[in-house]
Amino acid sequence: MAHSSLSQNEEGNMNTLIGSGLWPYLLVIFAGFLPTDIWRWLAVIFARRLDDDSELMVFVRAVATAMVAGVITRLVLFPTGDLISIPLMIRVGAVAGGFIVYFLARRSTLIGVIGGEAIMIAGAYFNVAP
Amino acid sequence: MSESDVSILPDPTSQPALSARQWYLRGLWAGITSVQGIVLFASYIGFGGLCADSGVPLGAAAFSTFLIAALPSQLLLVGGYTSGTAALVIALAVLLSAARLLPSVVTLLPLLRGRGRFWVQLFASHFVAVTVWVESQRLLPSLAREARLPFYFGLVTLFNMSCVIATVLGFFLSGQLPRALAIGLTFLTPISFLLALTRNSRDLVDYLSLALGLVLAPVFVEFGGRLDILWTGLVGGAAAWLIHRFRKMKRAT
């Protein structure tokens, strides 16, 4: 897949470029912690003026949900790590299987995760030469 | 919080009068026995594995779990780090995705209010994420007012600590496990997140934005350049919201 090889090349560049130890930690603080916590703080400050069911909140929730869903798709369809070696059909099948098990188990997240994992691990075991 | 503070008010329910310390310990215990907590633990094992796979140093992986305590933000961070995205763009993506925390905190605060002062509430809000929100909604309402804050801090202490442990565990496991299990570990993040999002969906707009996000992502990976996740969220979320508005208007007429 053109995509994964591209991102791997860039990973190499990035690692040599940044090399030194502090960069990931600064990234955690300034690109992870601050943009996340600012919403938690704003919520405390403005709590009384906001209505959870207001249309603005519904819109914000919709954008956030779609974005996380996008990350999920990317992890399954364009993975970076070991998952690359698994055929696409097995990856998609494990997701679909986990979904079906989740609903069969009356919406149990834990059992759904175990179901999807069972398919993925079995698929990986029989597909990848040790 | 001293013990005498707690016993000033008569207990509205028939719960035994425990000290704040004892409620804190009960919160810890509730975290250990929480099924959502187990799923969260597993997700962070997956995150640790992902970090090891992506070349994120162990310390930074654990630090991000300790300090951010919101897996979607952390996923975007690692994803951006691996693909060499500019820090500002990563921050923007995290900022947009974390907006979902605002309504969560807003709806949780009334449960924690009462005796909590502003700074205490600010500190309490730092730990709010999907799992904490779900479990607090489940556990806090049945508790007496004075019990809630110490109980909540016990719960989030346990979750935060166990998530850091899970991150470190996942990081080390990724190099040690047989190949099939290592692959299973990497798969934990997407599958557990997909099911958690599905479980948290309440209305049509939630299901629509979830489905549109899943389907639109490959399109924007192809055409959206570096900002593909931002586009997926904005277009998918806006479309879901518009459909929700349209239905609401039709129902009103």
Pairwise pLDDT comparison (B109 vs B113), residue with the higher score: B109
- Residue range B129-149: mean pLDDT, rounded: 86
Contacts of A37 in chain B (CB under 8 A): 68, 126
**pLDDT exceeds 70 at position A44:** yes
Mean pLDDT computed over B187-199:
86
Burial profile B224-239: b = 16 or more Cβ within 10 angstroms, e = fewer: beeebbbbbbbbbbbb
Q: How far is CA B92 from CA A18, B87, B132, in A?
A: 21, 9, 24
pLDDT surpassing 80 at residue B35: no
pLDDT tens, residue by residue, B56-106: 999 999 999 999 999 889 988 998 888 788 899 899 989 988 887 887 788
Residue A50: pLDDT band by 50, 70, 90 thresholds? low
pLDDT grade for B16, boundaries at 50, 70 and 90: low
pLDDT at B1: 41
Q: CA–CA separation, A40 vs B141, rounded Å? A: 21
**pLDDT tens, residue by residue, B207-220:** 999 999 999 999 98
Instruction: Give the per-residue pLDDT at A117.
Output: 94
- What's the predicted TM-score (pTM) here? 0.72
Which among A13, A39, A107 is the nearest to B84, CB-wise? Answer: A13
* Tokens (6 digits) for B238: 């806006």
Please report the residues numbered 124 through 183 in chain B whose beta carbons come closer than 8 angstroms to any beta carbon of chain A.
125-126, 128, 178-183
Q: Do A67 and B181 touch (CB under 8 A)?
A: no
**Given B106, B126, B188, which is nearest A37 (Cβ)?**
B126
Distance in angstroms (rounded) separating the CA atoms of residues A29 and A40: 15
Best mutation target among A5, A7, A10, A28 (most B Cβ atoms within 10 Å) is A28
Cα B125 vs. chain centroid, distance in angstroms?
12
Helix H or strand E segment including B31: helix B20-32
Q: Is the pLDDT of residue A53 over 70?
A: no
Residue B9, pLDDT score: 47
* C-beta of residue B128 within 8 angstroms of C-beta of residue B108: yes
ipTM of the complex model: 0.76
Instruction: Please write the tens of the pLDDT for every residue from A70-113.
Output: 888 988 998 877 788 899 999 999 999 999 999 999 998 889 99
DSSP letters, B169-183, are HHHHHHHHS-HHHHH
Query: Would you tell me which residues 83-112 of chain A have a C-beta closer than 8 angstroms to some C-beta of chain B?
Result: 83, 85-86, 91, 94-95, 98-99, 102, 107, 109-110, 112
Tell me if B213 and A65 make a contact (CB, 8 A cut-off). yes
The partner residue sitting opposite B195, judged by closest CB among A30, A70, A109, is A109
CB contact under 8 A, A33 and B68: yes
